[in-house]
Homo-oligomer: A and B are copies of this chain.
């Protein structure tokens, strides 16, 4: 089987490997559709170490091909999605409810760092009973594949932001995750959604997905503009969906006392520290809360997200700006590196 592999810092390419066999708790899935994620681009630059020759990718759906002897809820032929994050469900962190931190910090991030990713014709899913989810009849692969990372992350960003019903939220950066956070904020009852974004096509998508207003950071008055839009008070909640220290600091600056900062940005290229501006943090006594998340997974959550798609509550497919066959996956990956042609998400079909 073929897959897109990491071949050393800055290098990727399609290579061939034998089709894997499932371990006792595993399933092997034949891929039918994938999305490419910017975090793969980060990782190829060296942010998170990946063994050379390992396949990239963590946003895929497909058909169950084989299951291990201990898998009881799924069988070959089932059409399934699987979250980018694949916890075991048994370790201490899983039992505590922090399934993304399975076994240790970021430990459920297996596709890529810990095993072959799923930008490949087949892939192994650990703990299949926990992690696989059936795709309901009538829901397209394209819709379903968005649940595997973008939607669960973006909606988690909005959940963690604890926006009071009718309250206000500023969402920093309208890349794919930020746009899904905008969808999530609208879905969860925010009354004022301010999207921070400079690219016109992304600004337009933000408005389409539910933003009420856009602040263009290239004007250099991001904090001031957001505070003015809330009558000088600041927003109830701010979401960091970029992964940049200045953006993180601005999230603290624009929130009102008692506000919540929800981080889903991946600060892999931020240096060693994030900075909290003390004046706006109330010198550490402003009742502000900072929360973070990594792509919550599991069958039960993804089933709920699919219910939202089935009933038309949200539609992420406008994020698909480009479509490729798997034969063109190297070109698709390259476009994600350069972000040329205003690419947001490329859909790969097999």
Which residues of A approach B to under 8 Å, CB–CB?
24-25, 47, 69-70, 73, 89-90, 92-98, 100-101, 104-107, 127, 129-130, 155, 159, 164-168, 184, 187-189, 191-192, 212, 233, 240, 243, 248-249, 256-258, 263-268, 270-295, 298-301, 303-308, 310-311, 313
| Count of identical protomers in the assembly | 4
Task: Report the minimum CB–CB distance from A295 to chain B (whole Å).
Answer: 8
Assembled-state Cα–Cα distance A97/B224 (Å):
26
16 contacts between A and B (CB under 8 A): A89-B94, A90-B127, A95-B300, A96-B258, A101-B257, A105-B286, A191-B313, A192-B311, A212-B311, A270-B278, A273-B277, A273-B278, A274-B284, A285-B293, A287-B292, A289-B291
Q: Which of B166, B278, B304 contacts A267 (CB 8 A)?
A: B278
Once the chains are docked, how many angstroms separate the CA of A2 from the CA of B95?
33
Residues of B within 8 A of A276 (CB): 273-276
Closest chain-B Cβ to A328's Cβ sits at a distance in Å of 30
Q: Contacts A95-B300, A96-B258, A258-B101; is A24 near B283 (CB within 8 Å)?
A: no
Instruction: Find chain B residues with CB under 8 A from A268 CB.
Output: 283
Q: Provide the residues of chain B in CB contact with A187, threshold 8 Å.
A: 165, 189
Nearest 6 A/B pairs, CB to CB:
A166-B304, A101-B257, A98-B258, A191-B307, A285-B294, A95-B300
Contact with A100, one of B25, B96, B129, B287 (Cβ below 8 angstroms): B287
* Residue in A25, A248, A258, A285 with the greatest tally of chain B CB atoms within 10 Å: A285
Residue in B closest to A232 when the chains form the complex, CB atoms: B104
Take A263-B284, A292-B287 as given contacts and tell me if A257 and B93 are in contact as well, using a CB distance cutoff of 8 Å: yes
Choose among B96, B303, B307 the residue that contacts A300 (Cβ–Cβ < 8 A). Answer: B96
Sample of 17 further A-B pairs with CB below 8 A, known A95-B299, A105-B282, A274-B276: A93-B257, A97-B258, A100-B285, A101-B258, A104-B257, A106-B257, A165-B188, A166-B308, A188-B188, A189-B189, A240-B284, A248-B284, A265-B284, A266-B283, A266-B284, A285-B292, A290-B290
Q: A188 near B189 (CB under 8 angstroms)?
A: yes
Identify which of B166, B263, B287 contacts A293 (C-beta below 8 A): B287
Are B94 and A165 in touch, CB under 8 angstroms? no
B191 touches A308 (CB 8 A): yes
Minimum distance in angstroms from A260 CB to a CB of chain B = 10
In the complex where A191-B308, A272-B278, A300-B96 touch, is A285 in contact with B264 (Cβ < 8 A)? Answer: yes
A249 proximity list for chain B (CB < 8 A): 273
A292 touches B299 (CB 8 A): no
- Evaluate contact between B98 and A89: CB separation under 8 angstroms: no
A303–chain B nearest beta-carbon distance, Å: 8
Select which of B89, B257, B292, B305 is within 8 A of A105 by beta carbon: B257
